[in-house]
Structure 1
Amino acid sequence: MTKRAESKYKIDRRMGENIWGRPKSPVNRRQYGPGQHGQRRKGKVSDFGLQLKAKQKLKGYYGDVSEKQFRKVYEEASRRKGDTSENLIGLLESRLDAIVYRAKFVPTIFAARQFVNHGHVSVNGVRTNIGSYVCKAGDVIEVRQKSKQLVTVLESVQLAERDVPDYVEVDHQKMVATYQRIPSLSDVPYPVQMEPNLVVEFYSR
């Protein structure tokens, strides 16, 4: 389980944005950072500061992925043909935990990683317990038979706060999702604006 799971809303407050669009986010009540200096007046942010914040926000959104892992995703995105920022989003959305979250099998991205780590999911019929596993278009992700009646799964499917995007096809009766295609930035339903172009600038300095 990620070390950030118990204090995930600190990420929201540090960014000053409700990055998952959740009704319980403390940013809905307090739009300043955590800690005794959270309400200090902020000066003008440098280009580096903007790039760093964009990187931390995107990294935090996917369950506060470790810096080493996030950098590896960036390096893979830069190796691939095409726009690096679009490749970066495509790779992050292709993570198994991200697809489990998009399919609404779990309420949060943090829960998705734990759900996968505990062996509740199979990919193309093979049990897979690595959240960072990269799925390909056409892969079938299924909640394992013994896990389909878990309370967290049944409650998550009913959540009205977010919809399943069109690049993931889901049958909530069978608890099966098909990853239809790799999305572009404009396809991904981020509740706040993400700026992968600034993340690319951060790493390519």
Structure 2
Amino acid sequence: MSKRIAAKYKIDRRLGVNLWGRAKSPINKREYGPGQHGQRRKKPSDFGTQLRAKQKLKGYYGNISEKQFRKYFDEASRCKGDTSENLIGLLERRLDAVLYRMKLVPTVFASRQFINHGHVLVNGKRVNIASYIVKEGDEVSVRERSKQLAIVLEAVSLNERDVPDYIEVDHKELKGRFVRIPKLADVPYPVQMEPNLVVEFYSR
């Protein structure tokens, strides 16, 4: 679904977690990393623990580039309130994340490609930038001519995840509304995320 589709499960194995909670993840069969040294385990340093937390969070949202992720952190730091909560709020407002949360695409990678190909409308206007920041109250919908695409029909029928309560969705009309910016506790991550360690990583 994107240029990373062939390698996305390597992220799972490298980090040692089923990052997206999918049944196809190789972690379900092999809980160690890829390569000949994958089964070696050693206690990570504080730096290693913080780096791993950052890689998990970056990877979950489609393996965002370091430059873009740092930009989100800097913006979260400038906002009032808890930086880690602000960071999660920003990441969850990305259009590809919102579309994925709405269950209109099967993966966040597919979401990015779906948006890039011009299949998504925000408040009735076509948006083809996956990192577009959605505001509270914005309506996100699938373009009329794209509603019968197999990828959409498949995603709607999946039972492996639920739509969180900060998003309202009408799966019949294939549209939804971003109700509010979530807190960390509201986000249905399949694995534990530790944005506080990400803050520590960048604050060194």
Question: What is aligned with 1:131?
Answer: 130
Once the two structures are TM-superposed, the CA of residue 4 in structure 1 deviates from its matched residue by: 2.3
Query: In structure 2, how many angstroms separate the alpha carbons of the residues matched to 1:53 and 1:152?
Result: 31
| Structure 1 counterpart SS, 2:176 | strand
Q: How much has 1:36 moved relative to structure 2? A: 1.3
Across the aligned residues of Structure 1 and Structure 2, the Cα RMSD in angstroms comes to 0.8
Moved over 3 A (4+): none
2:45 corresponds in structure 1 to 46
Structure 1 letter corresponding to 2:43: K
Report the counterpart of residue 85 of structure 2 in structure 1: 86
The reply to whether residue 34 of structure 1 matches residue 34 of structure 2 is yes
The answer to whether structure 1 residue 21 and structure 2 residue 24 are counterparts is no
Is the CA contact (8 Å cut-off) linking 2:2 and 2:110 kept in structure 1?
no
TM-score normalized by structure 2? Answer: 0.98
Deviations 1:135-180, CA, capped at 9 Å, x for gaps: 0000000100000010110010010000000001000111111000
TM-score (norm 1): 0.98
Mapped to 2, the partners of 1:2 and 1:48 lie a distance apart of: 31
1:70-127 deviation per Cα after TM superposition (whole angstroms, max 9, x unaligned):
0001111001000000000000000000000000010000000000000000101110
1:151 is aligned to 150
Quote the residue 2:168 is aligned against.
Answer: 169
CA contact (8 A) 1:2 1:63 kept: no
Q: Report how many residues are paired.
A: 204
Q: C-alpha displacement at 1:3, in angstroms?
A: 3.9
Aligned to 2:179: 180
Q: Identity of paired residues, percent? A: 72
Offset of residue 2 of structure 1: 4.9
Query: How has the CA–CA distance of structure 1 residues 65 and 2 changed in structure 2, closer, same or farther, with 3 Å as cutoff?
Result: farther
